[in-house]
Structure 1
Amino acid sequence: MATMKEIAELAGVSRGTVDRVLNRRGSVSPLTKKKILEIVEMLDYKPNKAGIALSVQKKSLTIGVILFGAGNAFFDDVIEGVESKLGDLSIYGIHLITRRIPFGLDEELGAIDQLLADGINGLVLSPYNDDSIRAKIDRLWDEGIPVVTTNTDIPESRRIAYVGSDFYSCGQTAAALFHRFAPRPLKLAIVTGSDRILCHKDRIRGFLDYCRDLKPSIEIAEVIEAHDDDYESYEAVTQLLARYPDLDGLYYTASGMYGGCRGLMHARKMQSSPDDSDLCIRNKKGNPFLVIGFDSVPSTREMLQKGLITATITQQPQLQGSLSVSILQDYLVSGKLPDREIYHTELSVKLRENL
């Protein structure tokens, strides 16, 4: 097996120069770098993992994680994925610091600054979609701190990768489900989280683009924000149904479906089983009221099982957490950039029948 010493001798440089090229540290002339990499490829050099682990342990590296919503159960699953990597991280002496924050620019900027004060070497971030966050990510890269975005993205920033669903495809999938469940003219309302979160915006964009040429048509009565909050969602849905008594369904782009379903239960007449395990809410025409959204947190599964939610689209939250951390680990340990910038997690549709 080739060694770093042998590569240095063949290239006529020091081991330190080889180390800088392989670990992308410091400045090396393009010609020397090209020569070293050609020798590495020729010898099929593989770094010694035990040596790398020992070297990284001496550095005492820390990965920070900032996710939205202390009360958002979806991000509980993302954290579960993050923590599933603790064993791998401990081999290299890498530590984790996690923060859960409400939606808000100041909250996110403050959380990033706090983690910087704690001495993080890399960051997993669900970004607020604002130029200040984009500029912050760029500055972190300049300071040698890589960022991986997860669940939602901030394009044209210098983050090294995004891990999460294809938002636009999410929206199109939801529109297709409404059309297939009820191939008739529909009047829907959209309940979203925040206009400043890219995944929420693009789930609406994909939905509207798909609906544009549908026949029979889907009409959007209103788009409202509920900030992933069940109480806010409850109030919003109650008011929506008062304004639009002829509403046929709700499209949720984010959390809050449980609160919305509770609002439906109080605002509309229901047919229910004696034990309240089977609920059916109907629109003014007597057809089932449709509710479609995202994720499979416990409260969503409960409402899906009872028949209040028609379908939910899942997006592998545990993988979003674990893969984001793995990408940062690889970069911090060996200087290896990810193979691509975007890693889309798979979408799947959950119904009452396949829950």
Structure 2
Amino acid sequence: MATIREIAELAGVSRGTVDRVLNHRGSVNPATAALISEIARKLDYRPNRAGMALAAQRKNLKLGVLLFDAGNRYFEEVWKGVEQKAAELACYNCTVLREKTAFSASAQSDALLALKEQGIDGLVLTPFNDPAIARQIDRFSEEGIPVITTNTDIRNSRRLAFVGSDFYRCGQTAAGLMRLMTFGETSVGIITGSSQVLCHTDRIRGFCDNIAARYPQIRVLDTIENSDDEFESYEKTLALLKRYPQINALYFTAGGVYGGCRAALAAGRNDIRIIAYDNVPTTADLIRRDVICATICQQPEVQGSLPLQLLFDYLSTGLQPEKEFYYTAVDIRIRENL
């Protein structure tokens, strides 16, 4: 097993420098830090677990969690994972600060600054897909505050890793389900949360790319946004169905499923085939009532707990996560396997 002394000899630096890099103590030249991290990775360096626990307790780490708060009940399940992991990490004198934010770059930016002012050492974030948020993540990284994204991701940023579903693949899966659950010409209305949330847009992209390539009988008539809000979803879905009476299928890529389905029922459209995401209680009930055909689940508690564990391990040991993308399973639920 590799030791700090061996890493120091190969890097041509002192053991103190290696210790500062692996344990995030003090400032080290970025090129030297990168070299030490790479040598540690190649040697498969693993710190002593007992020593790591003791070091973590002495550090009194403070981690932040910032998730969307738009009335989407899915995040209640994510928070369960956060709470479970926070209770485990409390044994190591690790504090977890929890905050929520709306679908807004300015609101999220303000929440990020507030968490930074509270002295967080690392952050778990559902990012609003905006260049201003990417720049803030980069600044956090430059200041030694690693960020792991969960549930949705943000491109062109220096976030450390991502935990969540493969959105594009989920969209492709939804297209395959739509083909299996419809007959003949199919006219689809898409109801999404926000065009500024990557998981929502990539689910649409995967869906549309797959039907364009394989299922010419399926066509998308329109896409509307509901901000993950049940009331907004009801009103906008009702208007969509009035505008396009030929719609015979709906694809929900985010929250607002209950409100949108209520609108379909209010319009007397029991014939519409509906595919959604997540197994929240209201969606499960609509599946049992044969209103929704299928839902695609994404292991919400894992999205709450795993990012915190990855952050804690990184800040305790200095070692990078083993991979950049930690994809959750594509889990399809129908009435028979709820």
The residue aligned with 1:185 is 185
Question: Does residue 1:346 correspond to 2:329, yes or no?
Answer: yes
**Paired residue for 1:27?**
28
Q: Does 1:88 align with 2:71?
A: no
The aligned residue for residue 318 of structure 1 is 301
Residues 66 and 98, structure 2, Cα contact 8 Å, conserved in 1: yes
Does residue 76 of structure 2 align to residue 76 of structure 1? yes
Looking at structure 1, the residues matched to 39 and 70 of structure 2 have their Cα atoms a distance apart, in angstroms, of: 46
* Structure 2 counterpart of 1:286: none
What CA RMSD, in Å, does the superposition of the two structures yield over aligned residues? Answer: 2.7
Inter-CA distance 66–179: structure 2 relative to 1 (3 Å threshold): same
Tell me: CA distance 1:87–1:48, structure 2 relative to 1, closer, same or farther (3 Å).
farther
What displacement does 1:233 show?
Answer: 0.7
- CA drift of 1:246 comes to 1.8
> In the alignment, what sits opposite 1:297?
280
Deviations 1:207-251 (A, max 9, x none): 111111344511211100001011111111111121122210110
CA deviation map 1:64-83 (0-9, x unaligned): 01111252211111111112
Shift of the 187–6 alpha-carbon distance from structure 1 to 2, 3 Å rule, reads: closer
Q: Match of 1:315, as an amino acid? A: Q
CA distance in 2, matches of 1:313, 1:5: 49
Within 2, Cα distance between the matches of 1:168 and 1:193? 16
Unaligned runs of 5+ in 1: 270-280, 283-288
What corresponds to 2:241 in structure 1? Answer: 241
Structure 1 residue 333 corresponds to structure 2 residue 316: yes
Structure 1 pair 296–27 and aligned structure 2 pair: CA distance change class (3 A): same
In structure 2, relative to structure 1, the CA distance for the partners of 1:334 and 1:185 (3 Å cut) is same
CA distance 1:126–1:215, shift in 2 (3 Å): closer
Identify if the C-alpha distance between structure 1 residues 243 and 118 changes in structure 2 by more than 3 Å, giving closer, same or farther.
same
Give TM-score, length-normalised by structure 1.
0.87
Asked if 1 retains the 8 angstrom alpha-carbon contact of 2:254 and 2:276, the reply is yes
Assess if the C-alpha contact under 8 Å between 2:274 and 2:292 holds in 1: yes
Confirm or deny: 8 A CA contact 1:304 1:311 kept in the other structure: yes
Contact 1:291 1:310 in 2 (8 A): yes
* Alignment partner of 2:290 out of 302, 307, 323: 307
Higher-Rg structure is 1
Offset, 1:261: 1.1
Aligned to 1:277: none
Change (3 A) 1:53 1:205: same
**Deviation of 1:92 (Å):** 2.0
1:251, 1:292 within 8 Å by CA — same for their partners in 2? yes
Deviation at 1:164, TM superposition (A): 0.6
Alignment of structure 1 residues 145-294 onto 2, 5 Å: 145-268=145-268, 281-282=270-271, 289-294=272-277
The answer on whether the counterparts of 2:7 and 2:39 sit within 8 Å (CA) in structure 1 is no
Gaps of 5+ in 2: none
Q: State the percentage of identical aligned residues.
A: 48
Looking at structure 2, the residues matched to 20 and 8 of structure 1 have their Cα atoms a distance apart, in angstroms, of: 11
In the TM superposition, residue 123 of structure 1 has moved relative to its aligned partner by: 0.4
CA drift at 1:46: 4.5
CA distance 1:94–1:215, change in 2 (3 Å): closer
The answer to whether the 8 Å contact 1:186/1:217 transfers is yes
Question: Following the alignment from structure 2 to structure 1, what is the Cα–Cα distance between the partners of residues 110 and 301?
Answer: 26
